[in-house]
Structure 1
Amino acid sequence: MILFAKILLAILVEYAVVMLCRTKVKFYRNRPKTLQQITYSLQNISNEMVFSNELLPSIVHKMARETIYPVKHLWQGVSKEILLGNAFEQSFERELINNQKLLSLSNEDIDCLRLLASQLGQSNLDNQLKILNITQNKIVENEKNQI
């Protein structure tokens, strides 16, 4: 009877480990694609701000229409926050934190995206590209560290 209980316990522990690993793998599997979509969207918003005459709320609303789920959910939230009168950076940061699990982002990813979002609207494209490259390098480095 004790042997049976030990075997059953071992099987349950193994099952729990497998389920935990599957959950963690599922969490990180979507991460690179999500990060790529968010950085691409931020770069598009920045370019629209510099080169077009559109206002930020309409640009963010346009991003919400053009992106796919779950990034679409992020931009819809940011658009609503901006229409309520909040600043873009605060809205973006709040929505990133609120949707962190949905977007499969780590805290380091949020810090990198926050840095990139703080550079929006600057006409110095060299500086924007430098920040974008730094952010993407940090994201890749974080990805390697977590694997």
Structure 2
Amino acid sequence: MDDWKAAIGKGMVPGALASVASAAVLALCSRKESGHVFAGTNAISHWLWGDKALRKNAPTWKYTLVGYGIHHASSLMWASLFEQAAATVLARKSVGTTLTASAAATAVACFVDYQLTPRRLRPGFEERVSRGSLALVYTAFGLGLAAGALINHRKDRA
């Protein structure tokens, strides 16, 4: 897929599913580990509000909505890159190859998030949940990418 406009369009469904799935798992892990459902999502807003966001627990427009907005936009970006980079593989419409491609894309996203990105622009929820929970959040993200890609490319048959 050489057309970035098409890749961005194709990234909407996988990005939305990856965003919702990973945010749901983040909420569950945040609740379990910090006692606060919104702690992880609030932490994402540290991009704008600094380290104060890393300590916010209650749902607020300022921290929760901004945190989820950043998370959702990032998910859409990664999904669009995924659709562009893996277009040939995804066109095969194979569950196995789609899961493999989404796992690879998720691994790249995690590597970029934590190895190449300055601390100030990292997701932030790593400050509120364990490494095991991070793995679950990224796994949910990858499954959302795969589900969205399968939906997208199933529609290509029609």
TM-score range, shorter chain: 0.3 to 0.5
Larger Cα-atom Rg: 1
